[in-house]
């Protein structure tokens, strides 16, 4: 049997190419994700651990920053070779436009550059800053097109602009703390001069050679007061590595889901290939049975064949995976700004072994049912003519219908239960689970309806293209089981894409809807948030006063937030000088009264009269424990500036005009950011589109695999129908018409698959959305442009898949094909 298996493998090598490609892609994606995971892990390890390089003992600040005395105390401990304080303070850097560089409303950082080179927490390209010089992080430099020798500007605590020459560039990688923010490296004293801060974040210690880290850590600990954490360098590095792992795992988990999806799709393709191949080989199998092969031997030979394909596909898949692992960081960093560090690809044994195993196991599993069916071949079949069109017995149809209905019913039941679950996260999971079961039901039922659907979709083909069109439709539906499995892979890919596009599109619209309905003003001017703490800064009252001087602006409302001690409770209170801008607040708020938050238990304040419980959310400022009048807040928390200004333009004033006023006034207040509903919407749009692009890219593999599936089914059908094609040619079908016929057949399969997938996506996306967004009424949008694009994609992919089989079919000589038995 070994020899037979080998012979049939080599004989049918061409027919197996497409199957092998499906294995390669399915395994490639999964192995690629795993390899990428290892690589990202190594990269994160490296960047995270970089801060603890050469460090023997580290002192980490607790609630309060570390002081210079503490640094001196540590320096005085025996066996300490050198101790260095590291500080980080917020320091806004100005971009080329003259406005501060912000990320998510936060300004940038300044970090100290250690005098001792070996104790610097970063690698430096250039030299340490001398007077009038500074370091800049690589990301900001790239974004702002800055290089060594050029000038940068920062804002000191008084708001004055200070300039420095860039002396070197620093790669901070993905250190979560700095990610996306501008980081300027300066000597410690210079940071103190600029920001007025002198507290240290951590003290790093290099020990004298031969000192035990644990022992030294113990001595450092006893030299310091409580409230600080002392760790050995080794411990610190382990901690950082653990932190890195959690970051890396997030990415790999989501990617693995897509890997599994593509593997499932590949299994469909493999299953179909073996089903068709073995159906075509009935004579051969029967002949083997005639000359004495047992059922076990037939089964074994088929499985062996599939194992060989799985192994070859798996091996190439692992190679492809290595290639994919190069591409994934680019995709993620572009779409999500995920900041996966650059690192040479790490290929460990595990992903290789997992890839090979997946290839073999998936292929064998997919081939098992067709192989089992092959064992039922009776020896006599070798002597008889084999019917070309498979007929399905009524009984198996009924069984199929029952299975499909059962799966559908269970899926609907789960979905409905999910819809009734209160917790939105649980509800989403249950609804998605129900969706998967319903989809399985649809897949099971698809051979029953796919024929009719094909006929329906193919109606125009028959009308327009005449007999070749009609024959194409008839061919596409003559073997519903085969068509169903072929299109299933496309259904999955396109269905998921449709669902994601609808989900993300609806989330986007819902968010926009929330924005416009809850956004009482045209502009929201926020104070730049502190880069280090994320706390909102202050907007001088003069700013609002200056705006109020312009009659083009109808309302200028200042919002102040402050922590205040009321009746022994620390409350986060808000005040707004134009309460009428917030429609949810009840009227009549006076001094001595408070509107409490309706999402929290009543704080029961004896000293304040509770006017009402209401939604205390102020856009841009968040939810408060309570809202009081401006003067009441001054009584409770002392006088202070606002942190947010809401501006409503007078009617008839164009957005350009009002924006121009805000920008002009803002020039004198660099630490303010003007947001408009339009800005927020377009930001949202960019984010959602990035995500959509990523999902489309990941699901693209699935579509690619189904492309191979269609090509495979079609070329096997072409072989099967050699005589028919020759007859048609003899009766007057031109080569072009024959090619067109196969193209039409592929197109039909592609369209039907895409349609079923899209319909499923359209049904389930709103259900998932309703489960996921419990608090708001989701705005459901149907992304018709995307869906149309998906249909076009499926159509183009299936036509592409048909090109080679169609060419091969049309090339054959008529007479030879007729004689072929």
Nearer to another protein, 160 or 731 (CB): 731
Tell me how far, at minimum, the Cβ of 743 lies from another protein, in Å.
17
CA distance 203 to 71: 7
- Beta strands 151-155 and 183-186 are unpaired
Nearer to another protein, 82 or 723 (CB): 723
Tell me how far, at minimum, the Cβ of 282 lies from another protein, in Å.
17
CA distance 284 to 810: 26
**SS3 assignment for 692-705:** HHHHHHHHHHHHHH
Which residues is 80 bridged to in the sheet?
207
Please give the helix or strand (H or E) that residue 360 lies within, else none: helix 349-375
First-to-final CA distance of the chain: 25
CA distance 358 to 370: 19
CB atoms within 10 A of CB 674: 17
The full length of the chain comes to 821
Nearer to another protein, 292 or 732 (CB): 732
CA distance 725 to 731: 10
Nearer to another protein, 460 or 736 (CB): 736
Nearer to another protein, 462 or 805 (CB): 462
Tell me how far, at minimum, the Cβ of 815 lies from another protein, in Å.
5
CA distance 19 to 270: 6
Tell me how far, at minimum, the Cβ of 756 lies from another protein, in Å.
22
Tell me how far, at minimum, the Cβ of 12 lies from another protein, in Å.
24
CB atoms within 10 A of CB 1: 15
For residue 801, give the 3-state DSSP assignment. Answer: helix
Which residues is 186 bridged to in the sheet?
112
Nearer to another protein, 217 or 476 (CB): 476
- Beta strands 672-676 and 569-576 are unpaired
Tell me how far, at minimum, the Cβ of 451 lies from another protein, in Å.
11
Nearer to another protein, 113 or 817 (CB): 817
Tell me how far, at minimum, the Cβ of 393 lies from another protein, in Å.
15
Cβ partners under 8 Å of residue 796, min gap 6: none
Exposed/middle/buried for residue 258 (C-beta within 10 Å: 0-12, 13-18, 19+): buried
Helices 735-772 and 480-518 pack at an angle, to 10 degrees, of 40
- State both tokens at 384: 């008889």
Closest by alpha carbon to 194, among 154, 137, 134? 154
Please give the helix or strand (H or E) that residue 168 lies within, else none: strand 161-170
Tell me how far, at minimum, the Cβ of 387 lies from another protein, in Å.
7
Nearer to another protein, 532 or 721 (CB): 721
Tell me how far, at minimum, the Cβ of 727 lies from another protein, in Å.
4
Nearer to another protein, 668 or 814 (CB): 814
CA angle in degrees (0–180, nearest 5) for 439-444-447? 120
User: At 594, phi and psi to the nearest 5?
Assistant: -145, 145
Is 715 within 8 Å of 804 (Cβ atoms)?
yes
Question: Which single residue is written with the structure tokens 């191949």?
Answer: 277
Nearer to another protein, 237 or 721 (CB): 721
Nearer to another protein, 509 or 745 (CB): 745
Where would I find the H helices in 281-423?
282-290, 295-336, 349-375, 394-420
Tell me how far, at minimum, the Cβ of 459 lies from another protein, in Å.
16
Question: Which single residue is written with the structure tokens 């009264």?
Answer: 593
Q: How many CA atoms lie within 13 A of 163 on its CB side?
A: 6
Tell me how far, at minimum, the Cβ of 736 lies from another protein, in Å.
8
Nearer to another protein, 250 or 388 (CB): 388
Tell me how far, at minimum, the Cβ of 721 lies from another protein, in Å.
9
Tell me how far, at minimum, the Cβ of 434 lies from another protein, in Å.
38
Tell me how far, at minimum, the Cβ of 731 lies from another protein, in Å.
5
Is 741 within 8 Å of 467 (Cβ atoms)?
no
Interacting residues with another protein (CB under 8 A): 387-389, 466-468, 470-471, 474-475, 478, 723-724, 727-737, 813-815, 818
CA distance 174 to 339: 6
CA distance 31 to 25: 10
Nearer to another protein, 653 or 741 (CB): 741
Which residues is 612 bridged to in the sheet?
595
Is 356 within 8 Å of 311 (Cβ atoms)?
yes
Q: Measured over all CA atoms, what is the biggest interatomic distance in the chain, rounded to whole angstroms?
A: 103
Which residues is 644 bridged to in the sheet?
526, 559
Nearer to another protein, 144 or 724 (CB): 724
Nearer to another protein, 14 or 811 (CB): 811
Nearer to another protein, 462 or 757 (CB): 462
Tell me how far, at minimum, the Cβ of 479 lies from another protein, in Å.
10
- List, as one string, the DSSP characters of 318-330: HHHHHHHHHHHHH
Tell me how far, at minimum, the Cβ of 724 lies from another protein, in Å.
6
């Amino acid at each position: 049997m070994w020899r037979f298996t080998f012979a049939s493998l080599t004989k049918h090598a061409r027919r197996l190419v497409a199957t092998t490609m499906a294995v390669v892609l399915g395994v490639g994606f999964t192995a690629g994700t795993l390899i990428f995971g290892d690589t990202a892990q190594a990269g994160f390890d490296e960047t995270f651990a970089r801060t603890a390089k050469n460090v023997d003992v580290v002192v980490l600040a607790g609630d309060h920053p570390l002081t210079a005395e503490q640094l001196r105390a540590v320096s005085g401990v025996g066996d300490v070779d050198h101790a260095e304080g590291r500080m980080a303070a917020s320091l806004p850097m100005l971009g080329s436009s003259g406005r501060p560089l912000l990320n998510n409303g936060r300004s940038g950082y300044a970090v100290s550059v250690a005098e001792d080179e070996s104790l610097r927490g970063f690698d430096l390209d250039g030299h340490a800053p001398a007077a009038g010089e500074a370091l800049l992080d690589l990301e900001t430099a790239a974004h702002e097109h800055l290089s060594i020798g050029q000038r940068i500007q920062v804002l000191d605590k008084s708001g004055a602009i200070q300039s420095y020459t860039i002396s070197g560039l620093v790669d901070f990688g993905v250190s979560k703390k700095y990610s996306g923010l501008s980081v300027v490296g300066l000597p410690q004293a210079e940071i103190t001069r600029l920001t007025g801060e002198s507290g240290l974040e951590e003290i790093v210690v290099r020990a004298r050679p031969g000192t035990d880290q644990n022992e030294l850590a113990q001595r450092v600990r006893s030299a310091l007061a409580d409230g600080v954490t002392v760790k050995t360098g080794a411990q610190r590095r382990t901690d950082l590595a653990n932190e890195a792992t959690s970051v890396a795992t997030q990415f790999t988990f989501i990617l693995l889901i897509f890997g599994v999806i593509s593997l499932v799709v590949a299994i469909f393709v493999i299953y179909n290939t073996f089903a068709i191949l073995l159906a075509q080989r009935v004579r051969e199998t029967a002949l083997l049975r005639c000359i004495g092969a047992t059922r076990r031997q037939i089964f074994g030979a088929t499985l062996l064949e599939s194992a060989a394909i799985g192994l070859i596909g798996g091996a190439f898949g692992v190679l492809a995976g290595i290639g994919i692992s190069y591409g994934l960081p680019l995709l993620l960093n572009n779409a999500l700004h995920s900041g996966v560090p650059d690192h040479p690809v790490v290929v460990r044994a595990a992903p290789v072994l997992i890839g090979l195993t997946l290839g073999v196991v998936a292929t064998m599993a997919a081939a098992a049912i067709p192989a089992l069916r092959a064992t039922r071949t009776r020896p006599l079949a070798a002597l008889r003519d084999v019917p070309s069109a498979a007929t399905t017995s009524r009984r198996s149809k009924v069984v199929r219908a029952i299975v499909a209905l059962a799966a559908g019913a269970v899926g609907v039941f789960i979905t409905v239960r999910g819809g009734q679950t209160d917790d939105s996260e649980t509800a989403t999971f249950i609804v998605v689970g129900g969706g998967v079961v319903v989809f399985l039901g649809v897949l099971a039922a698809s051979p029953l309806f796919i024929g009719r659907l094909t006929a329906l979709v193919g109606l125009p083909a028959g009308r327009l293209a005449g007999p070749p069109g009609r024959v194409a439709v008839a061919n596409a539906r003559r073997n519903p089981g085969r068509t169903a499995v072929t299109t299933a892979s496309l259904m999955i890919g396109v269905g998921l894409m449709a669902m994601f596009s609808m989900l993300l599109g609806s989330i986007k619209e819902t968010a926009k809807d929330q924005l416009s309905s809850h956004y009482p003003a045209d502009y929201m001017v926020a104070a730049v948030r502190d880069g280090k703490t994320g706390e909102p800064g202050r907007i001088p009252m003069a700013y609002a006063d200056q705006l109020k001087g312009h009659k083009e602006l109808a309302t200028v409302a200042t919002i102040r937030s402050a922590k205040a001690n009321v009746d022994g409770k620390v409350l986060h209170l808000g005040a707004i000088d134009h309460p009428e801008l917030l429609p949810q607040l009840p009227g009549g708020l006076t001094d001595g009264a408070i509107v409490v938050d309706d999402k929290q238990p009543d704080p029961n304040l004896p000293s304040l009269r509770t006017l009402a419980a209401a939604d205390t959310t102020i856009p841009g400022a968040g939810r408060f424990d309570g809202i009081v009048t401006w003067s009441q807040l001054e009584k409770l928390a002392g006088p202070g500036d606002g942190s947010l200004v809401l501006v409503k333009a007078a009617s008839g004033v164009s957005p350009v005009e009002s924006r121009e006023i805000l920008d002009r006034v803002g020039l004198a207040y660099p630490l303010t950011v003007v947001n408009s509903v339009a800005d927020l919407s377009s930001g949202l749009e960019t984010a959602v589109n990035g995500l959509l692009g990523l999902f489309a890219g990941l699901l693209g593999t699935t579509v690619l695999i189904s492309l191979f599936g269609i090509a495979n089914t079609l070329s096997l059908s072409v072989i099967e129908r050699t005589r028919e094609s020759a007859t048609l040619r003899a009766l007057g079908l031109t080569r072009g018409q024959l090619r067109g016929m196969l193209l039409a057949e592929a197109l039909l399969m592609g369209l039907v698959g895409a349609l079923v997938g899209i319909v499923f996506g359209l049904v389930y996306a709103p259900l998932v959305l309703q489960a996921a967004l419990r608090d708001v009424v989701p705005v459901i949008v149907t992304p018709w442009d995307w869906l149309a694009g998906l249909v076009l994609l499926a159509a183009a992919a299936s036509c592409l898949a048909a090109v080679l089989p169609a060419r091969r079919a049309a090339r054959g000589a008529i007479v030879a094909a007729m004689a072929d038995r």
